[in-house]
């Protein structure tokens, strides 16, 4: 049974609703889906409710943006208590920092001669947490760029003229937040990390697993990070990191996955942090 443990919805920078994600999971015979929106838990409850009619397991999760040196590092949290006071309060701070950063980016783009407003960004993001992909999509809509990649390369990527730094947690703060919410903490897409010492740091800080399987990992990277997981007794996870990519009108959701047994391992680890002993079937 397949489990895609890295999926984004319109609650952050994905383009499908939680219900649409569940529908596609059913069509593609995916047993479990990890809802891991950036710095928000807003899509989880809707996904759980939607999944009931399809007998699909929703893994309540989050992808927290952290910082290591000058590089953004993402930490995934699985089976978190998304109603915990601490995670609600912290994600509120993170959402507000994203909005503030978005407003500053728009001002920089205006100074560069690009006529965008924060209202244009909200039109794209809806009620979701504002991210740079939303700004990029607004730029595409205004014909300033032809792709999200071009927007990042020319304007809003790190060191580019409209880039703005924002508040992020340290890796330690991210891991501790997930653990305090009763979740298992996983380092996301390690193959995309430039400073690989961040992985060593995460392991030192009691990370629970590593996302060895990812849509942007090569076969060699899958083997490399799986070996690290075995050596350090970490849980191997994986997923499509689906945001908006379709092939022949079908989302890549579930095209990269792990066996359902990994979901059970995550659940058991999360139960340890919650102080419980329940099992998932």
Domain boundaries in the chain?
2-90+170-274, 98-156
Backbone dihedral region for residue 51 (phi beyond 0: left; psi -120 to 50: alpha; all else: beta): alpha
Q: 2-7 and 258-259: which strand pairing?
A: antiparallel
Cβ contacts of residue 38 below 8 Å, gap of 6+? 8, 12, 13, 63, 65, 129, 131
- DSSP tag of 244: S
Closest CA to 186 of 171, 166, 208, 167: 208
CATH fold of 98-156, please?
A: DNA polymerase; domain 1 (1.10.150)
Instruction: Tell me which CATH code domain 2-90+170-274 carries.
Output: 3.20.20.140
pLDDT in tens, the chain (281 residues): 999 999 999 999 999 999 999 999 999 999 999 999 999 999 999 999 999 999 999 999 999 999 999 999 999 999 999 999 999 999 999 999 999 999 999 999 999 999 999 999 999 998 888 999 999 999 999 999 999 999 999 999 989 999 999 999 999 999 999 999 999 999 999 999 999 999 999 999 999 999 999 999 999 999 999 999 999 999 999 999 999 999 999 999 999 999 999 999 999 999 999 986 555 55
3-class DSSP assignment, residue 203: helix
């Amino acid at each position: 049974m397949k489990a895609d443990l890295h999926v984004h919805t319109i609650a952050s920078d994905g383009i499908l609703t939680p219900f649409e994600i569940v529908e596609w999971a059913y069509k593609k015979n995916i047993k479990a889906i990890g809802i891991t929106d950036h710095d928000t838990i807003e899509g989880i409850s809707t996904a759980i409710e939607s999944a009931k009619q399809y007998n699909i397991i929703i893994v309540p999760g989050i992808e927290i943006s952290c910082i290591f040196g000058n590089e953004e590092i993402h930490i995934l949290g699985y089976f978190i208590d998304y109603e915990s006071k601490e995670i609600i309060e912290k994600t509120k701070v993170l959402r507000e920092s994203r909005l503030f950063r978005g407003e500053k980016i728009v001002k920089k783009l205006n100074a560069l001669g690009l006529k965008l407003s924060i209202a244009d960004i909200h039109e794209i993001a809806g009620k979701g947490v504002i991210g740079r992909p939303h700004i990029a999509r607004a730029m595409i809509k205004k014909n300033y760029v032809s792709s999200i990649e071009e927007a990042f390369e020319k304007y809003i990527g790190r060191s580019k003229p409209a880039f703005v730094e924002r508040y992020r947690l340290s890796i330690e703060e991210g891991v501790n937040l997930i653990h305090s919410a009763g979740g298992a903490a996983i380092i996301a897409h390690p193959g995309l990390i430039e400073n690989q010492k961040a992985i060593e740091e995460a392991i030192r800080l009691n990370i629970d697993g590593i996302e060895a399987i990812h849509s942007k990992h090569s076969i060699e990277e899958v083997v490399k990070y799986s070996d690290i997981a075995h050596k350090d007794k970490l849980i191997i996870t994986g997923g499509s990191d689906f945001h908006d990519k379709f092939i022949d009108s079908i989302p890549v959701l579930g095209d990269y996955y792990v066996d359902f047994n990994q979901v059970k391992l995550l659940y058991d680890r999360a139960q340890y942090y919650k102080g419980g002993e329940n099992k998932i079937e």
